[in-house]
Every structure is written in C-alpha cells, then in structure tokens.
Amino acid sequence: MKVLVTGGAGYIGSVVVELLVRKEHSVVVLDNFSTGHRAAVDPSAEVVQGELADDSEVESLFRRNTFDCVMHLAGDSLVEDSMRLPGKYYRSGLCSGLNLLAAMVRHGARRIVFSSSASVYGDPESVPITETAPTRPQNPYGEVKLAFERALHWFHVAHGLSYVSLRYFNAAGATETHGEHHSPETHLIPLVLRAAVLGKAVEVYGTDYPTEDGTCVRDYVHVLDLAEAHVLGLGALLRDKTGVFNLGNGSGYSVKQVLAAAGLVTGTEIPWHGAGRRPGDPARLVASSEKAASQLGWRPERASLHEMIQSAWDWMRAFPAGYPD
C-alpha cells in the first residue's frame, strides 16, 4: 500500500517508516525538518520537504500521489513550550492538520492514523486510564490533540473518513538504527543517559507529587511497539474500524525509578537535584490498553523498563553524536 507519513523524520515517525518499509509498503515522508532529521528516514522512502501549513504544497503532494492511508505524526510536541506559546501549537497541530484533512477529502484519501497523546486526559480521576475517561487537558498541547480528534470525528460523519487515533503514553527506547535525537532534548530517558555519560546531575521537575516517591509517574512504551500499533491501525482501517485507542504498558514508573534503572543499565550512579514542577504536568499517567488489545490486536512486546532503557543506551553508544544532520 502507499502510505503518507507526516513527520516521518522525527523520533517516532522514523521508526514507523522503518517498520512500514520492512513490511514492503510504499512510503512517502512529508517533513519540514524543523525537529526531524533527513538521515533518520529510511532510504527506501520518498522524502518531500514541505509544510502542512502551505495549502499549495499539500495540494501538489496529493495531486502527484494516490495514498491508501495517511499516518499523521507531524506537529510540535513539548508540553512546557505549549504553555508559553499556545498559538504555535494551534497553528501546527490544528490549522495544519485541517489542511491535511481537507486535501484528503478532495483527493479521495479516506484513511488516517493519528498520533495523539495521553495529554488529552489531563490529571485523571483514576488509573489505569481507559478511553472512556473524561478528557480534560491541562496544557495547549493536549488541548490541540483533543481538538484534532474531534475534527476527525466530524470528518468521519461528513465525509466518511475512517480514522484510528492512537493516544500515546511515553515513548521510549530505540531500534538498532533509530533513536532519540532532539535539540533541545526534553525526554527523561535520553536526558538521564546523557547525564550518565557527562557525569552531570539530572533536574527532576517536582518532588512533592502525590505519588509513592514524590515524583511523576509515567507509562513508558517502546517506540517499536508504538510503530507496530500504527501498522495494526492501518489493518483496522481496512476493516472499517474507527476510533481512539490508548497505547501503554498498564504499569507506571516514577522519575526516581527511571533514574535507578538507568543506573543499572549504564553501571553509573546518576546524580539528580530537585526543581519546581512544570506547568501542566499531571502527577500520574498510566494506561489501560485493553481496547487496543481486543480491537487492534496490539500488545506491547517490549514492556520492561530495563529493556527500553537498554535499547536507548545501545543506540546512544552506537551513534554518540546522534544523526549527522
């Protein structure tokens, strides 16, 4: 099948492309390379540098191609940044996304897998979180993800567009060839591993949360498991399945537990110091992925925190400078 992957040069997007190519799909990547890396894209994929915000560029792309499915991973993704610059997130996450949906309708592309987020839930009333839990985002990043999900619903009603929205919890880990290379880096595991290399202390944002050790608890999912969910989402769309699905392991780990596990992987005790809470950060996010299991056939195969950190550490040692671009 021919698949368009927006944001296919990013951390998760590049692994999705890697897996699609491995499964012999024809892949076109659309990315503006503001945060992604050209070297992260599998050489078998066609690469188009462009902006979803540009109607003419998107129209030209759809005129040149007939896509069986769109996998939409493009957009800004930093919670703290969204609290300072909400307009940036509405433009990249909602306005640009609506350009994509409009082009899909004009050109008869009727299937989309969307990279959503657990941020749509805000601070949940109870865990593990199911898809029926109230959606109360605490930051513009989550609000925009939810707004686009609602747009997907109405495009389904009005135009017959089929969608699978994947509400990620925390992506982690690496494959042999693809890992995390952000500038600036904000994700906990690569920051902790970099601290192990440099011998610097890690900032822990908030040590007074209502959790077992006072630090935030998150549900980590291996990036390859997330990529496999996209492929299963494509299969579900071919069966006319539409809906939202949580992707998590069902067990959470605190920041201090991540520090301890990374210390075991690297053989280094990693120093840390407490800092203030970041605005918009809930205390605990842990998923129930039973719906994804029953309807998509998805279960995480790399659920061990140690395995996720080990894969990230292996990639970091193999590519100490990250991607060359």
Active site residues: 141
Count Cβ neighbours within 10 Å for each residue of 130-155 and write b for 16 or more, e otherwise: ebebebebbbbbbbbbbbbbebbeeb
Residue 188: closest CA among 86, 257, 250:
257
Taking Cα atoms as reference points, which of 205, 196, 209 lies closest to residue 316? 196
Q: Is 158 exposed, middle or buried (0-12, 13-18, 19+ CB in 10 A)?
A: exposed
Neighbours of 325 (CB within 10 A): 11
> What is the DSSP secondary-structure string of 177-229?
S-----SS---HHHHHHHHHHHTPPEEEE-S-SSSSSSS-EE-EEEHHHHHHH
| Tokens at 172, concatenated | 């982690």
> Among 234, 9, 280, which residue's Cα sits nearest to residue 121?
280
Type of residue found at 320: P
How many CB atoms are closer than 10 A to CB 105? 15
Q: What angle do CA 231, 232, 237 make, to 5 degrees?
A: 100
Beta bridge partners of 2: 26
Distance CA 164, CA 78 (A): 23
User: CA 250, CA 318: separation in Å to the nearest integer?
Assistant: 30
